[in-house]
Amino acid sequence: MRILLLATALLTRSLDAAEEASVRIRPVWWQAPAAPIQLHVEDTGDKHRPIRVLQMCPLESFGATMEKGAVLLQRIEPDPADPKSKPRWEPYASAPLPQGSRDLLMLLLPSPGGKSAQARLVPMDEDTLRWGGTRLVNLTAARLVGQVADKPFSVAPGGSAVLPFVATQRSVVEIMLAADTRAGREMVFSSKGIFSPTKRTLLFIVNGAEKGSYETRAIEEPNPDPKVQDDSEAGG
């Protein structure tokens, strides 16, 4: 009986450790390729499973470990001219996992040829990006500075930061954003935004097609708690 209990305890700890080691990865396209690409992830054993990836809309997720990182695979079909050719799997996009995060958005930026993609990982953990909050992701080469609800913030090039305002009820808040460039400080935008505990937001800033212009895109995740939805609507 003692041996059985010991084996059960060791198995439970092993399963717990495996579960703790898994990090949730949610891939999205920044711009979906013109030609559809079917991506896969490693499954149990030597198997692979397909995963659906949409443009700027998280749909499906997969688990990753610190050892392997976040990896998306593409199936390369056999060469019909070579009877000995077999299908193979090649990495399409990969990125090492940052320490301390258990929930990550995987932003895919396809290469011009479409054979691979750069991957940017953005933390989505609820303890850092709370409901009613916004994380600003700076994909420009300049430092971004701004204010939200009269509170200042800044984001380094290539970095991200949670804005210093979290809505506990539906709020219309003024937000201003500028870029510190070599030519001086350039205005990115200045407007009023709606913040609400019914959602949390990832706000991406990139350089526009014209010099000195900027483009913004956002991903909004709705709060699954129906009580928060009702409280917000009642308060708004």
- Does residue 42 lie within any of the structural domains? yes
Q: What is the pLDDT of residue 43?
A: 82
Strands 70-76 and 39-42, by their bridges, are: antiparallel
- Does residue 12 lie within any of the structural domains? no
- Does residue 11 lie within any of the structural domains? no
* Cα of 65 vs its chain's centroid, Å: 16
Q: Are residues 141 and 202 in the same domain?
A: yes
Helix residue ranges per DSSP H, the chain: 2-21, 226-235
Stated pTM of the model: 0.84
Q: Are residues 98 and 174 in the same domain?
A: no
**3-class SS string, 148-189:** ECCEEEEECCCCEEECCCCCCCCEEEEEEEEEEECCEEEEEE
Q: What is the pLDDT of residue 16?
A: 41
* pLDDT tier, 1 (very low <50, low <70, confident <90, very high otherwise): very low
Q: What are φ and ψ of residue 107, in 5° steps?
A: -90, 120
| Domain with 112 in it | 23-122
**pLDDT tens digits, one per residue of 57-97:** 999 999 999 999 999 999 888 888 888 888 888 999 999 99
Highest mean pLDDT among 7-16, 30-39, 79-88, 127-136: 127-136
CATH number at residue 218: 2.60.40
- Does residue 187 lie within any of the structural domains? yes
Q: Are residues 105 and 155 in the same domain?
A: no
- Does residue 79 lie within any of the structural domains? yes
Longest dimension (CA), the chain: 75
Mean pLDDT of the region 97-116? 92
* Dist CA 132 CA 199 (whole Å): 6
SS3 category, 121:
strand
How many domains does the structure of the chain reveal? 2
Q: What is the pLDDT of residue 10?
A: 34
Give the tokens for residue 220.
């909004």
- Does residue 172 lie within any of the structural domains? yes
Name the domain boundary from 77, 95, 122. 122
* pLDDT tier, 121 (very low <50, low <70, confident <90, very high otherwise): very high
Q: Are residues 35 and 110 in the same domain?
A: yes
Q: Are residues 117 and 155 in the same domain?
A: no
Q: Are residues 64 and 90 in the same domain?
A: yes
**pLDDT tens digits, one per residue of 151-205:** 999 999 999 999 999 999 999 999 999 999 988 999 999 999 999 999 999 999 9
Q: What is the pLDDT of residue 21?
A: 56
Q: Are residues 153 and 111 in the same domain?
A: no
Name the domain boundary from 67, 87, 122. 122
- Does residue 97 lie within any of the structural domains? yes
- Does residue 13 lie within any of the structural domains? no
User: Given a cut of 90, is residue 101 above it in pLDDT?
Assistant: yes
Name the domain boundary from 99, 122, 145. 122
Q: What is the pLDDT of residue 78?
A: 87
Q: Are residues 116 and 157 in the same domain?
A: no
Residues near 201 by beta carbon (within 8 Å), at least 6 away in sequence:
133, 134, 135, 218, 219, 220, 221
Higher-pLDDT residue of 15 and 74 is: 74
**Minimal CA–CA distance to 120: which of 206, 211, 34?**
206
* Dist CA 29 CA 72 (whole Å): 12
Is the separation of the CB atoms in 232 and 219 below 8 Å?
no
* pLDDT tier, 108 (very low <50, low <70, confident <90, very high otherwise): very high
**pLDDT tens digits, one per residue of 31-68:** 998 888 899 998 876 789 999 999 999 999 999 999 99
* pLDDT tier, 146 (very low <50, low <70, confident <90, very high otherwise): very high
Q: What is the pLDDT of residue 233?
A: 57
